[in-house]
Structure 1
Amino acid sequence: MPTEATFRFSTYLTLALACVTLGYAQAPMLPEAAGFAALAVLALGALYFIETRFALLTIPAANRLGAVVVACFVLWGAYRVKREIDTGEFANLGWPMLMVAMFGPLVVMLLPAKVARGEKHAGDYWWLHGLALAGVGLAAAFAEEPLCFALVGLYLGAAVWSLSLFYLGRASGAVPPIPDPKAAPVPAAAASGEPLGTRTDFRSALVWAAVTGAVAVPVYLLTPRSLAPKADFGKPRVEIGYAADQMVDLNRTGALKTNSETAFEVTATYPDGKPKTDLNPDQRWRGRTHQQYANGAWNMEPKRLPNLVRTARQSTPWVAPDLGPGQFALAFDLPAKAKAYFVADPIIWLPNQPVPLAGVTDAGEHGWMPSPDGTFYWDPAQRARTRQLRYVQAYTVESDPDLGPGFQIVDSRLDDSLDQLRTNPVERVKEYADQLLADLIEAGKLPAEWRDPAKLRDPKRRLPRAEHHDLIARAFSAHLATTPTLRYTTDLKRTNAKIDPVEDFLFHSKAGHCERFATALVLMLRSQGIPAVFVLGFKGHEHAGDGKYLVKQEHAHAWAEAFVSVPIPAADRHPDGPTHLFHWRGLDPTPGGGDATDDANQDWWHKANSWVGTQFQHYVTDYTPEQRRKELAGFANRLTQVNTLLALVNVIVLAFSVRAVLRWRARRTGAAPAPQTPTRWFGELVTVLSAHGIAPGAGDTPMEFALGAADALRARAGCAGVAEVPIAWAGAYYQDRFGGAPPSDARLAELDHDLEQLRRALETRV
């Protein structure tokens, strides 16, 4: 039989793991959940040590404790609801999801309250395991990290172990059955009078859990996936990556998690077809531009800029423009789930030349549409959402890689229409920028008469002249990137949550990631009347050989762009042409140029954790039908390769060789001992008693049958002296089957003698 200590330990371990799993999964959304889980684990630990030393609660007392737990939950729930009404912390989640999440703390509070009840029967254990399973199921709905699912795996292993011992305890009578009010009470009896029951069944539980996992994982990977979007519980993941479908929210806090998933692939080739293997390692890949900032977030409303100049022209069929020496082509491959286009920044184009971007479709290459504001767009109506997106870009490296093509102003209302790019909603940012301007003047980097007298009448609020905008923009960017007062970090915190995140970043926390640096620069430039926008995309790549580059989610990056006036060199000026051109200048204020992470400085543990997280996200959280088809095709391709087939042959040969060696060693050491015959002798007792009308009932365990038979024998005349024989036989049976200690020959002879006395007593009565 299983030892009581082992059964108790496995049960408490299962419940504690359920609490830990649920608390860990819900902590990012409900920090109180982690506290409730910690208290529940401490309570379970205390109950584990005092259960065998002191009497636990009676049923009425346990019910009163449950009422107290429910009352505490109601009070906490009321506080949470009022807080949500006041703050709208989970407005994006919705009330139904919040209410579901709030049941997590109730589960972890009820578990120790139920355990505190004394004299538990089988129904109580089923209730505990069901409640723990419900908590783990809720945790799985909120889980986003591999560690949480590792905790789920540990819980499942412990649950299988505990339920195996529960079955043995139920069969041996150590765990009382669910009381039946209509049935007469059955006295409890131990399965064996000798403490030989040492079987824990941990090894068999572990084996069955491993077999189940080995079957479940392939079935999961082969099961057709739903096309419906994943139901997200809790807060969006705070991770490194491009999220084109969400606002850039600087109010988020927490440690950014590395995401090594590939965002898209780029292949660089020269016009003669040779691969370009020296692509700039700091190349920026432009994604989406944000223009409106409010309440700590950049929204996604697309705003077109005013007409600046006639851009590149379309050509049908598309041909690459002539961008000059060093020109090469970039071919982009984006997955179907990509929600934005990415291009090399800046986009190089020339007036009256074909557009530099073209989409690749089944019907050929089609140039993107040029916009009057100098941008390009593509809306391939014939593209199915489940297909990969492909397009090409003509590119070259300019002498100033951060400066985009020049514009001539053709809209007389340009200055007024750019006012939306001068909007700065955070007043203290101007205070920071004004002090920085004063430092530039003191250092001699700006002339004393730097203000534009035509902008404002108040001399103290006059803005810089347009010819100084480029200098000021580069100086502000360099300051943010090099000042020791601001620090780059991926552990996002807020020192003062009552003020705007940018103000908190510049004056209080003084630490943040690329989004905070870029936003601060945009608002600083706007505070000086310099039009600026926030750009979200990627920076950097991994070279995969032969001109192929992988841009991963961990390369996600944010920077700023300023609309500045740059003088035309005298040698390039036309007598009747302008002396200045307007350009979009890319500005990267993040210290070190700021990729989100630096893999070279990470130790093996962080790299391994990053790899596990990427695989988990790829095969679990973001596993799509397209990915399933791709993985199956790749598996089939690898399976047919010569190296794979040779490896399989080697494994088979090795397995047969090991088997042959083991057999040879067995023959040398002699024949293996014959396996013990299963314990069949208990059936002799059943046969003897059944012949005289004492048969086991439906669902009776051997011990329950023996106890009932003993009661029946006591009630029969002349059989009271042998009433204990069935109980002795049941005890020996349990000792043999569950304790792994079969009766000795002397004990078997004693049992046979007692059975013979029982048979004679029954026959004599007849």
Structure 2
Amino acid sequence: MKLLHSFRLSLYLMLSLSVVALGSASDFFLPEIPFIVIFSIALLGAAYSLEDRFSLSLPSANIVGGILGFIVACWIGYQFIRPGVSLLDTLPFPASLLPYLSPVLMILIPAKMLRPKHVGDYWTMFGLAVMSMGLACTMASDLSFGFFLFGWLILFVWSLALFFLCREIVWPNNFPTALIESRWTLLSASLRWVMSFGLLGLGIFLLTPRPTESRWALTSRSLGRIDIGLSNDNTIDLNRTGTLSQNPGEKAFEVRVKNFDGTPKDDLNPSQRWRSTTMLSYQDGKWSRSSFASGGSIMLRELSIPNNAPDNNIRRALPVLSPEQFYITFIRDSKLAPTIILADPVYWRANLPSPIASIADSQNSYVSFDPKIDGSFQPIPDLRRNEYTQVALPQLESDLGPPLYDVHWIPESTLLNRLPAKIQTDLAPWVLALIDELIAKNQIPGITKREMNTNYPDWIEWKQQEPIARALDKYLSSSGVYLYSSTLGRSDKSIDPILDFLFKIKMGHCERFASGLVLMLRSVGIPCQMVMGFKGCTAEQEGVYSIYSDDAHAWVEVLLRQPEPKNAAQPKRVNQFAEGDDPGERFIYRWLTLDPTPGTEARTSTTSKTTWMEGFWARIDRFYKEFILGYNPAVREKTAEYILAQVLAIRTFLQKEGWLWLVTGGISFLALLAYLRRRHQRKILENQEADPLLQLPGVKFHNRLLELLKRFGFEPEVGQTPREFGTRVTAALERSLGVLATVPAEAAELYYRSRYGNEQISPEELVKFDNKINLFESALKTSPD
């Protein structure tokens, strides 16, 4: 097989796999990519078939490249203005520009291959291939890409090795017919090189994981990995896809809990919720923390909450709500929890001090926390407090918060009911039909017919809001139609991600379920918000509990209006009724907590049995996502703990069973190594004897000369070609051997002519060169140097 043909084959295969891998990585972002991949592969196939027969002139190639570039530029321009699905709307800038580079590279690669090529052009093609795979690595998250990358590395090393041979043999010596053993020469060697250095690189990668701090990336994919925990920027991007990655052992904050009498409390509810951030504004698949009382649309009126009196005992600065109250002191890491975190629900009363207080920096007074209608509290002044204390009560009703009096609310202007018009139009009919279906199935207690609000015809009547909200929550969490999944995907990028979740995918994590319920409720006029926080706690010691990043959770709060209980104790009112109501009626407002997330993970297979092949691929996929895409210091520490536990178990076994096992195992291992080494050496000798190329005269002379020079201290350096080695030895011996010093350089040329030039060496020349080697050997033995 001709060396040049083999190199071209390896180059085109490597470039084709670059295009395919880049296409598979960017297909999620740009649905037209498969057509571009097919077009590029067809161009590469045409270029390969026309090698040595046809190539475009430089002016013609520039014209074709300009036309293709113009088409790609027009397509990219259309993507920028494409309504609803532009990456600029779903990805952060400038990361949103990266996917648009994919079609540019896919077209550029075959366009370059249609031009006349020189050595520099081949280096350009290798560079474009590396750029393509580097870009693909920033976007890919699937296991299939891992196989693409492994195959590409083998082809890249193979092609680069053959390129080196062509550059050293074919082009300088004008040997276009230089032969090699077969079409696949050096392919097996390339596989061994990739495996060897790949394992070494993997080891270094596992020892030096990427940091957990935020970094510039395609957050829509998040490199295939989405950390469980709260965001540092008070936003939630539901356009992201990938796999949720746990952060085992990463503590978010710690609480110390004491009873009213000061003793440690050791019976804190293991399902305790910890609220952090309320999400109100939803747009383009993203939640943001907007101002709740924008324009005075909803607020608490005339609530007298005096500042906490200065005191050196924080308990005396907090109110007494009940003899059953207890105190929770929060000790948090500001990096993991940028907002105030509180035990949910927060109990407080008008005309009493705030239920949350913190020691001021001066150490002689306390910082008060101001209540918000959404259930949150902020310190006054608004400074970040990393340690503070909250008064809490046992929750009598697990899903209802304390009553709120004197709420001034203009429903149509509050964010609690606000939805983008497109989502309202698409979602409301579906939700109303679902409500009617649940009523028909008697799954909404106490309701036989849906009633709409007389003032707001598109909204459910307030008296039916609580049972309907509970029914929709139950439908998402336990109907079996929707399933929890830690793998987040998309089906239709042309619609909102939550509509995609509700209508098509029907699988996701807590943020998707909570967002879905909020949008469903708002579409029919039920005021609600999404709450980010944590759920659960781990007892560390008496009265001390840890909450970890893996406990992060999202749930929904619905603002309910209820008639005020008769003869109930209440604070002094400013107004006797809520705006728009009968003056004879008085109302209170309460937050209803709903958790629509199912409790179990969705199964990826409907069968009860898993074949060994499915289990094998599942383990490979898990390793790829955990130890490649999602590898971080926490995973490394967990892995190190597991390995240490196994080592300690083995040591315990050896200590128990004696050192006989260790000695026997060591001897057996050494014997196996010796056997494998001897077998490897024997295999090398057999291959050398069977290799027809070693019987070529030029090769035999060259090998003979190498053995001779080795005895006198001359050996080729790593990566040195025969010609380079021969030139080096000739220069070193020129002063001592004179004319005979040129023998190593002549042997290298004879080697190239015979090995790659397929040239038949005449018997006379062989005899003459044999005599030269004999004279060269004698001169080396008698040389004083």
| TM-score of the alignment, normalized to the shorter chain, above 0.5 | yes
RMSD across aligned positions (CA): 6.3
Q: Does 1:15 align with 2:30?
A: no
> 5 Å matches for 1:508-519?
509=504, 511=506, 513=508, 518-519=514-515
Partner of 1:59: 55
Give the drift of 1:109: 2.5
Q: SS state of the match for residue 60, structure 1?
A: coil
Q: Does 1:232 align with 2:233?
A: no
Give the drift of 1:33: 3.7
Q: SS state of the match for residue 216, structure 2?
A: coil
Contact 1:57 1:117 in 2 (8 A): no
Change (3 A) 1:727 1:522: same
Partner of 1:29: 29
1:79-126: CA deviation from partner (whole Å, max 9, x where unpaired): 2213413537233568866666433323223333444568x6543432
How far apart in 2 are the matches of 1:343 and 1:151?
A: 48
Contact 1:290 1:302 in 2 (8 A): no
Change (3 A) 1:61 1:701: farther
Partner of 1:696: none
Give the drift of 1:77: 1.5
Partner of 2:71: 75
How far apart in 1 are the matches of 2:571 and 2:139?
A: 67
How far apart in 1 are the matches of 2:623 and 2:199?
A: 25
> 5 Å matches for 1:464-543?
464=461, 469-478=465-474, 481=477, 497=494, 509=504, 511=506, 513=508, 518-519=514-515, 521-522=517-518, 525-526=521-522, 530-538=526-534
Partner of 1:300: 289
> 5 Å matches for 1:625-636?
none
1:587-617: CA deviation from partner (whole Å, max 9, x where unpaired): 2345x36889999999865576456434445
Change (3 A) 1:576 1:538: closer
Q: Does 1:188 align with 2:183?
A: no
Match for residue 109 of structure 1 among 96, 107, 110: 107
Partner of 1:159: 156
1:429-485: CA deviation from partner (whole Å, max 9, x where unpaired): 5556666777788868249897777x57xxx679635x5543444344345556688
Change (3 A) 1:17 1:391: farther
How far apart in 2 are the matches of 1:331 and 1:294?
A: 33
> TM-score under structure 1 normalisation?
0.66
Contact 2:327 2:392 in 1 (8 A): yes
How far apart in 2 are the matches of 1:143 and 1:520?
A: 27
Partner of 1:257: 243
> 5 Å matches for 1:669-748?
679=702, 702=723, 730-732=749-751
Change (3 A) 1:25 1:528: closer
How far apart in 2 are the matches of 1:595 and 1:349?
A: 37
Partner of 1:134: 131
Give the drift of 1:585: 0.9
Give the drift of 1:36: 2.7
Q: SS state of the match for residue 403, structure 1?
A: coil
Q: Give the residue type in structure 1 aligned to 2:592.
A: R
1:238-277: CA deviation from partner (whole Å, max 9, x where unpaired): 8765546365566x4x855332235754657764557659
How far apart in 1 are the matches of 2:322 and 2:619?
A: 41
Q: Give the residue type in structure 1 aligned to 2:156.
A: A
How far apart in 1 are the matches of 2:649 and 2:523?
A: 63
Partner of 2:401: 404
How far apart in 1 are the matches of 2:552 and 2:668?
A: 50
Q: Does 1:176 align with 2:171?
A: yes
Q: Does 1:421 align with 2:408?
A: no
1:154-193: CA deviation from partner (whole Å, max 9, x where unpaired): 534432333233323433x2x424xxxxxxxx54276679
Contact 2:321 2:348 in 1 (8 A): no
Q: Give the residue type in structure 1 aligned to 2:104.
A: L
- Deviates further, 106-115 or 631-640: 631-640
Q: SS state of the match for residue 176, structure 1?
A: helix
Contact 2:436 2:450 in 1 (8 A): no
- Deviates further, 575-584 or 608-617: 575-584
How many pairs were matched up? 680
Partner of 1:345: 344
Give the drift of 1:487: 7.7
> TM-score under structure 2 normalisation?
0.65
Q: Give the residue type in structure 2 aligned to 1:217.
A: F
Q: SS state of the match for residue 87, structure 1?
A: coil
Change (3 A) 1:462 1:659: closer
Q: SS state of the match for residue 31, structure 1?
A: coil
Partner of 2:592: 585
Partner of 1:371: 371
How far apart in 2 are the matches of 1:572 and 1:414?
A: 22
Partner of 1:91: 88
Q: SS state of the match for residue 532, structure 2?
A: strand
Change (3 A) 1:611 1:673: closer
Q: Give the residue type in structure 2 aligned to 1:23.
A: G
Give the drift of 1:132: 1.0
Q: Give the residue type in structure 1 aligned to 2:558.
A: A
How far apart in 2 are the matches of 1:429 and 1:597?
A: 28
Partner of 2:714: none
How far apart in 2 are the matches of 1:667 and 1:523?
A: 68
Q: SS state of the match for residue 590, structure 2?
A: strand
How far apart in 2 are the matches of 1:366 and 1:522?
A: 37
Change (3 A) 1:674 1:474: closer
Change (3 A) 1:665 1:94: closer
Q: SS state of the match for residue 556, structure 2?
A: strand
Match for residue 625 of structure 2 among 591, 613, 619: 613
Q: SS state of the match for residue 101, structure 2?
A: helix
Change (3 A) 1:415 1:476: same
Partner of 2:692: none
How far apart in 2 are the matches of 1:503 and 1:673?
A: 63
Q: Give the residue type in structure 1 aligned to 2:81.
A: I
How far apart in 2 are the matches of 1:107 and 1:750?
A: 52
Q: Give the residue type in structure 2 aligned to 1:258.
A: L
Give the drift of 1:636: 12
Change (3 A) 1:357 1:428: farther
Percent of aligned positions that are identical: 23
1:694-716: CA deviation from partner (whole Å, max 9, x where unpaired): xxxxx99749999xxxxxxxxxx
Contact 2:491 2:505 in 1 (8 A): no
How far apart in 2 are the matches of 1:432 and 1:674?
A: 73
